[in-house]
Structure 1
Amino acid sequence: MPSGSPTSGVGRVIAGRYLLLNPLGSGGMGHVWLAHDRRLACEVALKEIVFRDPVEAGHEREARVARARAEARHAAGLRGHPHVVTVHDVLEHDGLPWIVMEYVADAVDLRDLVASRGPLAPAECARVGLAVLDALTAGHRRGVMHRDVKPANILLAPDRSGSPHGRVLLTDYGISVQPDAGETRYTLASVLVGTAGYLAPERATGGAPTPAADLFSLGCTLYHAVEGVGPFERGSHLAEVTAVVMEEPRPAVRAGALGPVLHALLAKDPGQRLSSAEAEAALSAVLAPPAEPYARTRTQTQAEPYPRTQTDLGSQPPWAGVQEPPFGPVPHGHRSSPGAPPSRGGRWRRERSHALRAVLACGLGLVLALGGVWYAMADRSSQGGSGGGGGGGASARQPYGEAVGLAKPLRDGDCVIADWPGSERFRGTPRLRLDPTCATAPDGQVMAFVPAGSAEEARRTGPAKCEERTREIRDRLADVRGQAVVPTEEGFAAAGRRTACLVLGANGPVYGPIGSHRAPGSAFADTATMQRRDCLDVRTNRDARLVSCAGSYDEQVLGFTRLAPDVTLPEARTESDTACAREVPPGDYGFDPSVYTAGSWTSEGPWKNGTHFVVCTVRRQNGGTMEGDES
């Protein structure tokens, strides 16, 4: 089957082992798929090489294949690092390599997180920066330069404690290189390698890849995370590359104590840029500024700001033996002017020319004059998480702001219809309206609340806590996502001093109540509301009711699978039992295959939104009822 479309391969089996389930994303080299490893019965991520046309395949095949193998080799060399996506294997299928990687469940990349939640707090950015810096440093020790550090290549996922974004992972070593290893270069010298707006100036002008270049890209990435926009973002790639080389980064307005660190990382001259050790010290100070000046070393009981690799444990921190971080006490909470970045020598770097100083001063003055009101309003709306608020009276009437539009606070179990500002779901802030009967194909439902002591606390912690509070129900449903509805500062009291936690259909409506809001005996309007371990009373092949698993029932939901995009709904109703027997076999859940068999349920909803999800169940082969102790 020809490659090139991220939906062309759903249902394909790679190397006789990996079943492609759905695309996770696309990049310069190909598509990344969620796949099921049939041998180990677990999910993995597969990276597929893509040739978009026969001419490219003929001229670029050897280079792209070699780059894929190099990516696997470089990432595998960092196997086991806590902040690098693990590479399990590289295999050949139909003459092309596929990279088998760790599947990071519930992960979101930093670019999408900022787009959906808004800019992150400086301390949170510092935490992310420390983790990525740790990964980069481990690679640099091996001579591997990443060359494409950017928000889209940083994943945030739940950690073992349940914090939804506690785990930070660097991914995509597709254009990484070992310049000192005699390794063949698989890119043309005339082609810029990396992402415009995140390239170091020396790389944009043809210089060799170095650790300092990766640190410049890290600075751009953290700037984007805290400001919501890249420091050199312009209207075109050419303009961005030009800005990287010729212009200073736009002044930061949200960075606070992180600002001096960003300016030091974004120095044009790599010799003036922070080193890895200096960046670690500076970011650590932003993450946890001490009440007293730095001690000479950290005590054994002091918590590490991020997980360390084994090789780090035997070495002293980079600031051991000094009283202050390498470039002075600025990160101790002092909010310095963004126009005065520190240098590696510990002194403020002089401006390159009086003319540039004048231009920057004028630009900053213009920003302050014309953007002061915008900044105040943006900061207030971001605290509310709703993109609006207006005056005090308007916000009181709209507890979550004008963007959300609700006139009253949400209540537990409220069904909602969500209208997104663009064509893509979960991009921006949805405008909500209530579905009082929960019967007109609602998009989702209020499943929990998170109280807060202030509107600022709600803005800062509400989304993450909502992810935690709704994780169990989201794991039980086939195709949903969480969404926090955070009150504005003015509407905080009217909203009950709490954030509302929604569970919404990821690709379409949920068609009725979900979770504990479903009444026993109620009929399922659509399979979207069926969840794992539901017990069903089957009246007809189109009528199933929710019943208690403590008594007798006809079927029990085990999980979900999805059919290929070209399978029609009528075809699905004849093929789904076989697919469920293959992908969600009851024997894997402890049911005796000689007594039980796989069943399935389909509905129009997943075919309307294109996901083609099927609910897989278990039932007795003889058609008899099951009892409470059978599951």
Structure 2
Amino acid sequence: MPSGSPTSGVGRVIAGRYLLLHRLGSGGMGHVWLAHDQRLACEVALKEIVFRDPAEAGHEREARVARARAEARHAAGLRGHPHVVTVHDVLEHEGLPWIVMEYVAGAVDLRDLVARRGPLAPAECARTGLAVLDALTAGHERGVMHRDVKPANILLAPDRTGAPYGRILLTDYGISVQPDAGETRYTLASALVGTSGYLAPERVTGGPPTPAADLFSLGCTLYYGVEGHGPFDRESHLAELTAVVTEEPRPAVGAGALEPVLRALLAKDPAQRMTAAQAEAALARIVAPQGDGYVRTQTDLGSRPHWNEASALPPAAAAAPVVAPSPEPGRRRRTRPRALQALVSGGLGLALALGGVWYALADRTTDDGTDAAPYGNTVGLAAPLKAGDCVLADWPGAARFTGTPRLSLDPTCRDKAPDGQVMAFFEAASAEQARTLGQARCEELTREVRERLADVRSFAVLPTQAGFETAGRRAACLVLGAHGPVYGPLAGHRRPGSAFTDTATMQKRDCLDARSNRDVRLVSCEGRHDEQVLGFTRLDAGLTLAQARTRSDTACARDVPPADYGFDPSVYEAGSWTGEGSWKSGTHFVVCTVRKQNGGTMEGDEP
């Protein structure tokens, strides 16, 4: 049975010692598991190599095994560094290597943290940058280039005092290399190694890995930290690579004092790029700007960031869904300045800024607004919007997203087929700043939600000058159905166990409990479920809804094959769900899922 199959999961004992408890995550080389070391009675993290395709196992086996050993060797060389995940051992089990690593309890990677909570404040992002820079520099002194610095490879976890996100760690040395050691590079000569939007331009054009290239990737990562998106994010990997080489990064709107550092780190010419020493000094000045010296920052451990507070959610949708399936995923120690240690480990609480969207909903009439109409009389709301509010949009013309609609609320988020929902807010210093930046900031903050749904667009509701204080000094960021209603709550505002009223609210990686052709419910992916959403496809405009339900499985198997997401084709098959809303709007979107061929339930340890 290939590694990565269902039999390689929970309860398996590796090398007679490590009991797999559950999967922590997956990456390009394999899975990372939480495991119990039965000999030392402690928890560790284990990385396993995965060959989902038997042909790949034969062709790439030697190279990928060697890369795993190189990762262990490079990371072990930095053992004990406060900002590098510790590697304890590398072992072989059933012919494949497993890397035994430190388990970082309570950790979240920077990508997920920003995606869920919004961009970091510039000073907090600078503190993160100092820690990562210190880890990179320690590796560079040993001749080890990381080559894949990106938000997903930076972990933030509570420190020993319990301060949230006080500990910052660089992980995943899976593609690192020591060019001066004559080390074999386990990649094809024509292949780029790294993540497209975070590669330095000289690496894209075939240059060797250097410390300067890692610093460029660090600049991209810090840009993501304060902006919520990468400086070269595009619709495809090829477009990102092209942008890295030929285009300037998008202007940073939330970087503040960090903006000059980002600009210097993202210089196209490595000779003109900021050095590690210059970056360390600049970042330290942002974290603690008092006077000419650096001052240790203090943290009130009794306080917690605002996102720990439970947010009110709309009532669970209870109506029967109008969806149906077709019938038929020892290093050389560098002396660290004491001030730097204090700045990095001081445990500043993250001050996250909200941001984001594409379409600005501004009251363009001469109406200045009143305290009773925070967004102007044309929009018509008497009170400011709140997180999770479901809205109905009455557009002035026949076309959606044309002109300024009048908004009203659907308190139940289901009774009136809402057009969309408030997903975030952009905090502004003035009404003018809200109108100037609200469009772009709401675009970025709602990006992750929109990418998981089939047919939505973002929209910013902007306060008037007179209504700015009443609106809470912020713009409301909506996600609206692009061609019709969304029929219910979206993303994190849905409750487990709630029924889908239409496929419009189904999003990628949702796990489904299919009780009948008309009763489908959202459930946790950690437990048993019938199907998991992988993506979407669109059927021909001439098909009726009844015809679509007989052809959608075949379309999903062709356009969104489960094998592309790591599901064994001998065990799993493509499924699909269709909704009346998609046919009423004329978009003809179909939700594509994966399910077991024998009709059995799926478990929490699936790919």
TM-score scaled by length of structure 1: 0.52
Does residue 67 of structure 2 align to residue 74 of structure 1?
no
The percentage of aligned residue pairs carrying the same residue is 70
Does residue 397 of structure 2 align to residue 401 of structure 1?
no
Residue 489 of structure 1 and its aligned partner are, at CA, apart by 7.6
Partner of 1:357: none
User: CA RMSD, aligned part only?
Assistant: 4.4
Residue 22 of structure 1 and its aligned partner are, at CA, apart by 1.5
Q: 1:372 to 1:311 in 2, by over 3 A?
A: farther
Note the alpha carbon deviations across 1:118-168, whole angstroms, 9 max, x for none: 111111110111110011011011110000000111111111222221111
Asked whether the 8 Å contact 2:375–2:471 carries over to 1, the reply is no
Partner of 2:229: 229
* 1:293-312 correspondence to structure 2 within 5 Å: 294=292, 302-303=295-296, 311-312=333-334
User: Secondary structure at the residue paired with 1:185?
Assistant: coil
Does residue 262 of structure 2 align to residue 269 of structure 1?
no
Q: 1:316 to 1:41 in 2, by over 3 A?
A: closer
CA distance in 2, matches of 1:158, 1:492: 32
User: Secondary structure at the residue paired with 1:32?
Assistant: strand
CA distance in 2, matches of 1:151, 1:205: 23
Asked whether the 8 Å contact 2:126–2:284 carries over to 1, the reply is yes
Partner of 1:56: 56
User: Secondary structure at the residue paired with 2:179?
Assistant: coil
Residue 210 of structure 1 and its aligned partner are, at CA, apart by 0.3
CA distance in 1, matches of 2:187, 2:602: 40
Q: 1:76 to 1:310 in 2, by over 3 A?
A: closer
Residue 4 of structure 1 and its aligned partner are, at CA, apart by 3.3
Q: 1:282 to 1:404 in 2, by over 3 A?
A: farther
Partner of 2:120: 120
Partner of 1:187: 187
* 1:410-449 correspondence to structure 2 within 5 Å: none
Note the alpha carbon deviations across 1:193-233, whole angstroms, 9 max, x for none: 00001000000011000000000000001111111111001
CA distance in 2, matches of 1:29, 1:265: 29
Partner of 1:92: 92
Asked whether the 8 Å contact 1:145–1:210 carries over to 2, the reply is yes
CA distance in 2, matches of 1:507, 1:280: 44
Residue 506 of structure 1 and its aligned partner are, at CA, apart by 12
User: Secondary structure at the residue paired with 2:90?
Assistant: strand
Which amino acid counterpart does residue 27 of structure 1 have in structure 2? G
CA distance in 2, matches of 1:140, 1:188: 24
Greater CA drift, 75-84 or 159-168: 159-168
Asked whether the 8 Å contact 1:86–1:102 carries over to 2, the reply is yes
Asked whether the 8 Å contact 1:44–1:100 carries over to 2, the reply is yes
Asked whether the 8 Å contact 1:395–1:490 carries over to 2, the reply is no
User: Secondary structure at the residue paired with 2:28?
Assistant: coil
Q: 1:91 to 1:80 in 2, by over 3 A?
A: same
CA distance in 2, matches of 1:175, 1:222: 21
Q: 1:5 to 1:215 in 2, by over 3 A?
A: farther
CA distance in 2, matches of 1:159, 1:118: 22
CA distance in 1, matches of 2:84, 2:47: 16
CA distance in 2, matches of 1:215, 1:107: 24
Which amino acid counterpart does residue 71 of structure 2 have in structure 1? E
Partner of 2:23: 23
CA distance in 1, matches of 2:601, 2:382: 38
CA distance in 1, matches of 2:413, 2:70: 44
Which amino acid counterpart does residue 73 of structure 2 have in structure 1? R
CA distance in 2, matches of 1:42, 1:507: 34
Partner of 1:206: 206
CA distance in 2, matches of 1:267, 1:31: 35
User: Secondary structure at the residue paired with 1:209?
Assistant: coil
User: Secondary structure at the residue paired with 2:267?
Assistant: coil
Partner of 2:140: 140
Which amino acid counterpart does residue 263 of structure 2 have in structure 1? H
CA distance in 2, matches of 1:429, 1:22: 34
Partner of 1:464: none
Say which structure, 1 or 2, has more relative contact order (CA 8 Å, 6+ apart): 2
User: Secondary structure at the residue paired with 2:23?
Assistant: strand
Q: 1:310 to 1:505 in 2, by over 3 A?
A: farther
CA distance in 2, matches of 1:305, 1:208: 42
Which amino acid counterpart does residue 37 of structure 1 have in structure 2? D
User: Secondary structure at the residue paired with 1:66?
Assistant: helix
CA distance in 1, matches of 2:87, 2:193: 23
Note the alpha carbon deviations across 1:394-442, whole angstroms, 9 max, x for none: 888567335578xxxxxxxxxxx999xxxxxxxx9879xxxxxxxxxxx
CA distance in 2, matches of 1:59, 1:182: 24
Residue 312 of structure 1 and its aligned partner are, at CA, apart by 4.7
Partner of 2:12: 12
Residue 609 of structure 1 and its aligned partner are, at CA, apart by 9.1
Residue 105 of structure 1 and its aligned partner are, at CA, apart by 1.2
CA distance in 2, matches of 1:11, 1:227: 41
Which amino acid counterpart does residue 215 of structure 1 have in structure 2? L
User: Secondary structure at the residue paired with 1:180?
Assistant: helix
Asked whether the 8 Å contact 2:526–2:603 carries over to 1, the reply is no
Q: 1:191 to 1:304 in 2, by over 3 A?
A: farther
Q: 1:33 to 1:27 in 2, by over 3 A?
A: same
Q: 1:418 to 1:609 in 2, by over 3 A?
A: farther
Partner of 2:260: 260
Asked whether the 8 Å contact 1:72–1:90 carries over to 2, the reply is yes
Asked whether the 8 Å contact 1:7–1:22 carries over to 2, the reply is no
CA distance in 2, matches of 1:6, 1:66: 25
Partner of 2:446: none
Asked whether the 8 Å contact 1:139–1:145 carries over to 2, the reply is yes
Asked whether the 8 Å contact 1:395–1:491 carries over to 2, the reply is no
Partner of 1:109: 109
Note the alpha carbon deviations across 1:474-500, whole angstroms, 9 max, x for none: xxxxxxxxxxxxxx985769xxxxxxx
Partner of 2:219: 219
Asked whether the 8 Å contact 2:85–2:169 carries over to 1, the reply is yes
Asked whether the 8 Å contact 2:119–2:228 carries over to 1, the reply is yes
CA distance in 1, matches of 2:22, 2:214: 32
Q: 1:120 to 1:390 in 2, by over 3 A?
A: farther
User: Secondary structure at the residue paired with 2:181?
Assistant: coil
CA distance in 2, matches of 1:104, 1:169: 9
CA distance in 1, matches of 2:84, 2:495: 29
TM-score scaled by length of structure 2: 0.54
Partner of 2:551: none
Q: 1:108 to 1:173 in 2, by over 3 A?
A: same
CA distance in 2, matches of 1:48, 1:270: 35
CA distance in 2, matches of 1:23, 1:429: 33
Q: 1:267 to 1:395 in 2, by over 3 A?
A: farther
Asked whether the 8 Å contact 1:155–1:168 carries over to 2, the reply is yes
Asked whether the 8 Å contact 1:83–1:134 carries over to 2, the reply is yes
CA distance in 2, matches of 1:92, 1:31: 15
User: Secondary structure at the residue paired with 2:196?
Assistant: coil
CA distance in 1, matches of 2:160, 2:381: 38
Asked whether the 8 Å contact 1:51–1:57 carries over to 2, the reply is yes
Asked whether the 8 Å contact 1:146–1:173 carries over to 2, the reply is yes
Q: 1:48 to 1:79 in 2, by over 3 A?
A: same
The alignment covers a number of residue pairs equal to 374
Residue 103 of structure 1 and its aligned partner are, at CA, apart by 1.1
